[in-house]
Amino acid sequence: MLDFLSLSPWLATLLGASLAAMAGAMAHRIAALLALRATRGLPVLQTVVQACVPAMRVLLPLFATQLVWVAAADTLPHLGTVRHLTGLALIAVTAWALIAAIGGVADGLIARYPANVEDNLTARRVATQARVLSRTAMTGVVMAAVSLMLMTFPGARQVGASLLASAGVVGIVAGIAARPVFSNIIAGLQIALAQPIRIDDVLIVQGEWGRVEEITGTYVVLAIWDERRLIIPLQWFIENPFQNWTRTSSQILGTVFLFADYRLPLDPLRAELDRILKTAPEWDRRVSVLQLTDVTERTIQIRVLVSARSSGLAFDLRCRVREALVTFIQREYPDCLPQVRGPQEAARADASLAPLP
């Protein structure tokens, strides 16, 4: 057996690499079990460990194999190529593990603050920061890994040196080409830190009403109420004004405008509004106001102001109040609906409104 191994120098090295890979796999299994048990009471760290398990399952055996290649004799044919390929794989898998760890931290933080509660402002803030910052960090890891892999090729280093020799023109061209990318990356960091928008915020952008569905490293996905999706570059939110209805709270006021004749009494209308709101599940019992806000030569304008816990509930509440008040006027005061009078009708109306002698 020893004579056979001496006749085939690669066979002994491959046997050692196989044993090293098996040892790395066993070490990974033991380390994973211990890490999961040690982080049982730490949800964020346990999420990180769970996210890193698949990458570490490949990384540890690959690292052990690379140690065997490094310890092998340099006289083995093609050993340099094997070392190079294994090194490239190590860089790629290490980047995979780092990306998994970053994603695990983000997922763990988001899981600590569930968004399925009524007041989810903190949860949306944490989710926005975690998503944007983690994706920015992942982009940096990928760029660093690609740079390290390119630096292992002698030809790539020579190309880099030649590019540096003509860095004037190439730098200007690259800067112009990369400006949108870096602008969005910087805008993403600004949004993550200053947070003008967050996940699940209600925005009005270019006349469109929608919720922030996703914030990536370069754009924001706004889910429009009719199930369309509006894709907006991150830089746009830094350079343009927009409405954020949930910046500090999801509570919001809703308005309903009604037009009626001058003869409509307002007190019965206020009593009807109170009755409607007491049975409306969308009302949060904060604001209930009915006011005469404007008059024209033909009608009066009545504004109803109500409050709700969110913009969606406010819209439903406005519809409920509008329908109920219009029905009430139609049923109780049909002659007070807006109307255009002819000369004879106007004279009769004036006579009915004249004071008694």
100 three-state secondary structure = helix
207 three-state secondary structure = coil
- Rounded to the nearest 5 percent, the helix, strand and coil shares of the chain are 65, 15, 20
Is 46 among the domain residues? yes
Which of 123, 130, 104, 110 is closest to 45 using CA atoms?
104
Is 276 among the domain residues? yes
Summarize pLDDT for 23-64 with one digit per residue, the tens: 888 988 888 888 888 888 888 888 888 888 898 888 888 888
Which of 238, 47, 223, 55 is closest to 130 using CA atoms?
47
Is 175 among the domain residues? no
d(Cα 124, Cα 190) in Å, to the nearest integer? 16
| Weakest mean pLDDT among 146-155, 272-281, 343-352 | 343-352
pLDDT band at 327 (very low <50, low <70, confident <90, very high): very high
Neighbours of 38 (CB within 10 A): 12
Q: What average pLDDT score do residues 131-155 get?
A: 81
Say if CB 155 and CB 105 are below 8 A apart: no
Q: How many CA within 13 A on the CB side of residue 238?
A: 17
Neighbours of 172 (CB within 10 A): 10
pLDDT at 168: 45
pLDDT at 330: 93
Q: What average pLDDT score do residues 225-231 get?
A: 90
Percent of the chain residues past pLDDT 90, beyond the cut: 25
| CATH code assigned at 305 | 3.30.70.100
Q: Which sign, positive or negative, has the C-alpha torsion 310, 316, 318, 321? A: negative
pLDDT at 140: 83
* Amino acid symbol at 38: A
Q: 229 vs 147, which has greater pLDDT?
A: 229
Summarize pLDDT for 190-204 with one digit per residue, the tens: 777 777 888 888 899
d(Cα 109, Cα 51) in Å, to the nearest integer? 13
Q: 356 vs 186, which has greater pLDDT?
A: 186
* Residues with Cβ within 8 Å of residue 61, at least 6 apart in sequence: 20, 21, 22, 24, 25, 28
Burial of 124 (0-12, 13-18, 19+ CB in 10 A): buried
Structural domain containing residue 24: 2-112
Is 151 among the domain residues? no
Q: 57 vs 7, which has greater pLDDT?
A: 57
Measuring CA to CA, how many Å separate 184 from each of 89, 140, 215, 236? 31, 14, 11, 9
Please state the domain count of the chain.
2
Does position 246 have pLDDT exceeding 60, yes or no?
A: yes
Q: 285 vs 341, which has greater pLDDT?
A: 285
Is 167 among the domain residues? no
283-295 and 300-308 as β-strands: parallel, antiparallel, unpaired? antiparallel
The domain boundary, picked from 46, 81, 112, lies at: 112
d(Cα 38, Cα 173) in Å, to the nearest integer? 52
Is 67 among the domain residues? yes
Is 132 among the domain residues? no
d(Cα 215, Cα 221) in Å, to the nearest integer? 6
Is 42 among the domain residues? yes
Does position 15 have pLDDT exceeding 70, yes or no?
A: yes
Neighbours of 3 (CB within 10 A): 6
The domain boundary, picked from 93, 112, 131, lies at: 112
Say if CB 232 and CB 213 are below 8 A apart: no
pLDDT at 123: 78
Summarize pLDDT for 86-114 with one digit per residue, the tens: 888 999 999 999 999 999 888 888 888 77
Q: What average pLDDT score do residues 66-85 get?
A: 80
Q: 264 vs 235, which has greater pLDDT?
A: 264
The domain boundary, picked from 112, 127, 155, lies at: 112
Say if CB 91 and CB 148 are below 8 A apart: yes
